[in-house]
Amino acid sequence: MIEGIQLASQALSKGMSNLSVTANNLANINTTGFKRDLPFAEMLDAEGQIYYEQYTDHQMGDIVNTNNPLDVALSGEGYFTVDNGQETLFTKNGEFKLSVDGFLVNSLGHKVLGQGGEINLGEYKMEDNQQIRITQEGEILVGKHSVDTLQIAKISDIRDLKKTEGSCFRLSAGSYESLEEGEFMVSQGYLESSNVNPIIEMEAMIQMSKDYEAATKMIQALDKSLEEANQIGKV
């Protein structure tokens, strides 16, 4: 009976974690480049001990038109690379802009990386309203000037990507390499939307709520039975 209460308690704890994951997915349904998390799965380690692991679904979201020349969407396995001043991060969020000193940055101010390093358009005559063009291969041109080519990274194992702020990921282990032309396509004036499906998430939340309620009732029933058994033992 005690073991039954412990198992039901573990189910409650897991249920709370999964509800939190699903709620976070729904909260980011409109976040550019956001990747939904899957509920915690029960795993066994080498010693046979149970632990729970969470996975991120890296499936591509819908591509939406923005007509903003600094917005770019990336089709394929690759990720844009940005530098936060301490490490290289990876993202599918191509909502870029220019900093006051001419660097191409993301919404958090992280500098976007090209094959030549940090991308700076400041030396070109932006005040002349020269057109900024980004090709399907990721080459950035201001007027007739070729500035740099976006560095598109291929991660050796996407399970090594761990979420950080602003739809970015850091690499906890493993390695990455630059993708070659033809292995990806950059679309200027587009963004990749979140890959969260609200119907799927709501259905999952409803089922999790039912499972949580069932586990709660089981604990209450077992606790009542245990109390009755204790009372009988005192007679």
Q: Are 142 and 157 in contact (CB under 8 A)?
A: no
Question: Which 3 state secondary structure label does DSSP give 22?
Answer: helix
Confidence of residue 4 (pLDDT cuts 50, 70, 90): very low
Q: What are phi and psi of 127, to 5 degrees?
A: -70, -15
Examine the pLDDT at 199 and tell me if it is beyond 80: yes
HSE-CB at 116 with a 13 A cutoff on CA atoms is: 10
Instruction: Give alpha helix (H) positions in the chain.
Output: 2-27, 198-234
46/115 Cα distance (integer angstroms): 41
16/108 Cα distance (integer angstroms): 31
80/220 Cα distance (integer angstroms): 51
User: Domain extents for the chain?
Assistant: 2-32+196-234, 63-192
pLDDT digits (tens, 9 = 90+) for 92-149: 999 999 999 999 999 999 999 999 999 999 877 555 667 899 999 999 999 888 999 9
Mean pLDDT of 28-50: 75
**Quick one: pLDDT at residue 231?**
54
